[in-house]
Amino acid sequence: MASLSLSTSTPTAAGSTTPQTYSSSFTTTISPLLFLSKTSKKCALKSLKHKVLSCNAENSSSLNNLDRRNVLLGLGGLAGAVNLTSSSVPSVLAAPLAAPDISKCGTSPLSGFKPGGTTPTGGDCCPPDSTQIMDFKFPTNQAFKVRPAAHLLSPKYIAKFNEAIKRMKELPEDDPRNFLQQAHIHCAYCNGAYTQSSSGFPDIEIQIHNSWLFFPFHRWYLYFYERIMGSLIDDPTFALPFWNWDTPAGMTIPKYFNDPKSALFDSKRNQANLKAVVDLGYNGKDSGTSDIEKVKNNLAIMYRQMVTNATDPTAFFGGEYRAGVEPITGGGSVEQSPHTPVHRWVGDPRETNGENLGNFYSAGRDTLFYCHHSNVDRMWSLWKMLGGKHTDITDPDWLNASFVFYDENKNLVRVYVKDCLLTNQLGYDYQRVDVPWLKSKPVPRAPRSGIAKKLVGKVKKTDDVTFPVKLDKIVKVLVPRPKKSRSKKEKQEKEELLIIQGITYDSEKYVKFDVYVNDEDDDEASAPDQTEFAGSFAQLPHKHKGKTSSKTNFRAGLTELLEELEADDDDSVLVTVVPRSGSEDITIDAIKIIYA
């Protein structure tokens, strides 16, 4: 543990950064950013001065020339893919998901949950309706905010945070800024309350998880939530803290959340975890490992999900989600883990459905949700700094997807994904703190070259397996590689990917399984800090009208992993799928390797 460098700095004073004015001109033009070395240097110097992650220069050509595993985060700008200004008119040829008609919000979307616990399962989670919708415009002369690490807050900042939440809870129940009404927003978007009626598909529900909409939806959600808090305490510089669970010093719930007298307190949390080190690979019960092992595993999981399994936009953001379809292509690497396991780790096991944070419909009722997602949003900023293919999606159907939220003045505002790509343009940034997981690449348990050849006749090949396969036990299969011994250029152009396709699961359960590559040990699977651990599939409980099952996909990067295992020349790889929670009803349609 002594080798880990922990930050002891205090947050940059809110409001100390010079306020900025942003253009509100409207255009549908998409143009590449121009990256100049002189601009990059000015960007780096400004970041150092203000101790934040980014500055006005939102990219740097020098970052793109660095190995993503060695780049020093916090010294350059965000790697923006395109330079976009606001537009309220999507392309006529596109099919972006349109903001829902909230007047048609469904009632009682929670009634299908099994009774039990102390949280009522009936009622609805529809926010107040409005007959007027405003299109978003970037505020002029807005105060610039720096979101601080939650474990480094001063007593004064904690008091301000507490007061903002207290005032939200004291607002009238029908006020859209009310604490519970804000929680309803998350519930409605992910539990069957909204349909794609605005897109012309009234019979298809909207689900903002498990797709490329996960990151932009939550960024906008926090943006307006933060503005509401600042407005209620008359402090436009107030910034929402981020729960810094990706560094050892921040891997416990900040103690001020556990004060019963505080507005930040929530009684529906796992009582065994209030002072414990978070488990970013949580399986639904205590792993029994020491705190030191948890920290090692957590850092390795962060590396795996932010580097190995997030090599391109699809891997990081998740699969496409367009109007007229359901999000079945699969969530991004960070959404799968650590995002989902952290939700469940905090949620209360005394509640049948894991309320509050452990379930989509109730997650927004815990103030810790917003700090958790503030750090998830920070991952988007960090990821774009890694260079290469770590850029925003350029598909018009992603850029023109829209949502609606209430602002600090109770106006219903329509927003577009294209307008949230640059945090500086939205008027906020993140405090610069240590990122130790960049140096926490998993190490092999042992070299695994030739393992597939050794297991021929002992383990079935995919061609000999009858799919779909039920995951009520450990599944082992030899998966052929379409091409082996690829050149360096081939690897740079296309990532080798392990795909688990057609995962059907019970959406009303917390489900999780782990995936291993070339791990021969039948008695004990490799730990997350070992190379053989390829990643996890995890889903929180959520409700759909008329059905209890959902279908999606999982993917993991193999290029770096196979190099580390010295298995780059092998014809096949051994894939082991280990059920962890709620997996007895999971079925898998196919397991294969592709290049993309």
State the binding site for Cu cation.
Answer: 186, 209, 218, 339, 343, 373
CB 191 within 8 A of CB 360: yes
Return the DSSP state at 177: T
Region for residue 387 given its phi and psi (left: phi exceeds 0; alpha: psi -120 to 50; beta: otherwise): left
Backbone angles phi, psi at 410, to 5 degrees: 70, 20
Which of 438, 389, 397, 398 has the alpha carbon at shortest distance from 421?
A: 398
* Annotated catalytic residue 209: yes
Is 409 exposed, middle or buried, given 0-12, 13-18 or 19+ CB atoms closer than 10 A? Answer: exposed
DSSP letter for each residue of 179-216: HHHHHHHHHHHHTTS-EEGGGTEEEEE---SSSTTHHH
CB 401 within 8 A of CB 325: no
* Annotated catalytic residue 373: yes
Per 3-state DSSP, what percentage of the chain is helix, strand, and coil (rounded to 5)? 30, 15, 55
CA distance 275 to 150: 15
Placement of tokens 């004073």 in the chain: 13
Q: Over 509-543, what HEC string results?
A: CCEEEEEEECCCCCCCCCCCCECCEEEEEEECCCC
Cα separation values, 104 from 95, 196, 197, 595, Å? 21, 10, 8, 42
Q: Which residues, in sequence order, are bridge partners of residue 503?
A: 552
Question: For the chain, how long is the longest CA-to-CA vector?
Answer: 70
CB 303 within 8 A of CB 534: no
Task: Look at residue 149 and give its three-state secondary structure.
Answer: strand
CA distance 320 to 551: 14
* Annotated catalytic residue 186: yes
Binding residues, by number, are: 186, 209, 218, 339, 343, 373
* Annotated catalytic residue 113: no
CB 148 within 8 A of CB 242: yes
From first CA to last CA, the distance across the chain in angstroms is 37
The answer to whether the Cα torsion of 190, 194, 198, 204 is positive or negative is positive
CA distance 560 to 551: 28
The one catalytic residue in 186, 390, 542, 544 is 186
CA distance 306 to 334: 7
Is 324 exposed, middle or buried, given 0-12, 13-18 or 19+ CB atoms closer than 10 A? Answer: exposed
The one catalytic residue in 50, 184, 218, 544 is 218
The one catalytic residue in 343, 390, 542, 544 is 343
The one catalytic residue in 113, 161, 224, 360 is 360
The one catalytic residue in 184, 209, 390, 542 is 209
Task: Look at residue 309 and give its three-state secondary structure.
Answer: coil
The one catalytic residue in 184, 339, 542, 544 is 339
* Annotated catalytic residue 184: no
The one catalytic residue in 50, 151, 184, 373 is 373
CA distance 586 to 169: 40
Which of 13, 370, 33 has the alpha carbon at shortest distance from 223?
A: 370
The catalytic residues are 186, 209, 218, 339, 343, 360, 373
